[in-house]
Structure 1
Amino acid sequence: MAITASMVKELREMTGAGMMDCKKALNETNGDMDAAIEYLRKNGQAKAEKKAGRIAAEGIVMAEVRDDKTAAIVEVNSETDFVAKNAEFQGFVKAVVNQALATDSADLDAFMAEAWNEDASKTVKDALTEKISVIGENLSIRRFEKVVSEGCAVSYIHGGGRIGVIVDAETDVVNDEIRTCLKNVAMQVAAMSPKYVSREEVSQDYLEHEKEILLAQAKLENPNKPDNIIEKMIIGRLNKELKEICLLDQVYVQDGDLTVEKYVEKVAKENGATVTVKRFVRFETGEGIEKKQEDFAAEVAAQMGK
């Protein structure tokens, strides 16, 4: 399969690896993007496993919580940052959040088809179309999530709507101290972007896959070490990775002597409560969306001698 400059560009953005390493990986895997990512990781050339596509779209994330129990978070995109800061646009996003708080829809298609709360004669899609006409720029309701808590839900918005988080916890006490604790946990989620609440959520398939990657890396770096030593190295590296991707295992950013789990336990004990973080939702504006860029593919092609 012919390897194009745009394929190299895409792989480079996804992995952070060097351009020629990306070209080699694609050649070795006959242009299979997923296999090329695996190739780079096994050979230690991928700097980080990045999201597919650049975080480039504009817009805002907004969240709302009512009575500690019902929470909603939405992402609405615009073409420009100028519109994202516009009061008309932000008012519309606020209305979308209110819609999400009241919705029974399970997916975006159903949400867009339901009656608009501010005018039942139109749908959510109709309201969006009208707002596009008023603002004069393409807008998109990209996603929403509603959380109904049996304990306490809190929200946190970072960077004026760049990142939004909802944290849902099971707790037998709901007071200002517990709410503040959960808000701090939401800030942790915003800053550190965990994948899971705890290790119990991590699938065996994921663990086996990561072990395979770590084994390839360890053998490449330590070709003369015996297998039993390599095995210990893998266990250590996997535990380190789990501490990074599991929220409760992460070092608490506001107190490096505690994990997030120990911080929650500490606040719970001080308030005579039992608090268990059940889930979180994290939206980052534009993650995974790539808007028009400069012709970087042409630049890559020139450097590759094509």
Structure 2
Amino acid sequence: MKVCIYGAGAIGGYLGVLLAEAGAEVTLIARGPHLAAMREKGLTLEIDGGVRTARVSATDRPAEAGPQDYVVVTLKAPSLPQVAEDLQPLLGPSTAVVTAQNGIPWWYFHAHGGPYDGRPLERVDPGGRLWRLIPPERCIGCVVYPATELVEPARIRHTYGNRFMLGEPDGSRSERVSALSRLMLAAGLKAPVRPRIRDDIWFKLWGNLSFNPVSALTGGTLEQIAGDPATRAVVRAMMVEGQAVAEALGVRFSLDVDKRIEGAAEVGAHKTSMLQDLERGRAMEIDALVGVVAELGALVGVETPTVDCVLALVEQRAALAGCYSRPA
């Protein structure tokens, strides 16, 4: 089975090592010192108190890899439109694209059913460009839960978690998603095929929608935000609004909002990815985590005043830091 990991950073590299050990023919798309180090000495994974090194094919030229069975995209959402053209040589007639990213994906309304079926989302796919270049029929949803860190070029540290929730947009248990699940299970990962992948997307988004932008505005960790009554109230209001939007789209939540907040608080002194990106001057995932929820709220007629307010603030904070360009 040929698998290409596009964006082989911490999560992508972790996945690449384990899939290679499970027998897949893995190619990692990376660049810079990380790519040079992988080519020289392989890719090392610190996990479960030990160290494992895999010799994998690594390149910054997708054409060198050629068509794949699966392309697993582990880039952050703002980066994908920039590489959609470069990804084309990896796509054969039956190649599946696995969107292992946070937030609402561009294919969200593909095979959704109802009045919004087939509708692109402007916040995550301006002008429908991704819809055209990476047709949603190719896509498999993937919700990522492991925590990993790129400690130095070609060396990744796994902290916790091994779940990758998989699902077809139409809810079917297709052979392609089943085969991918079997491969990931052979690699020691939990990779269930979920019949309602959008429920899983929203459950993770629920926390990212709220804690991420509030952390970027305050500098607070998860426990600090949840432990302060004022910021906790802001987060809760955003989550309640997001839940109302999701439920208007047919999503079901398996936990109530206060238990979801407690779960985030228990993670402790953790900086969200959006805060880390702001501190490091990197592009921030505002559109896929927050802006799209406001867009969906307007679409379904659910008001999102707290989301809208925090969105405006974090957009300006990020734009002034050079980490975000506001939509035209």
* Structure with max Cα Rg: 1
Interval containing the TM-score (normalised by the shorter chain): under 0.3
Name the TM-score, length of structure 1 as normaliser. 0.25
Name the TM-score, length of structure 2 as normaliser. 0.24
Structure with higher RCO (Cα < 8 A, 6+ apart): 1
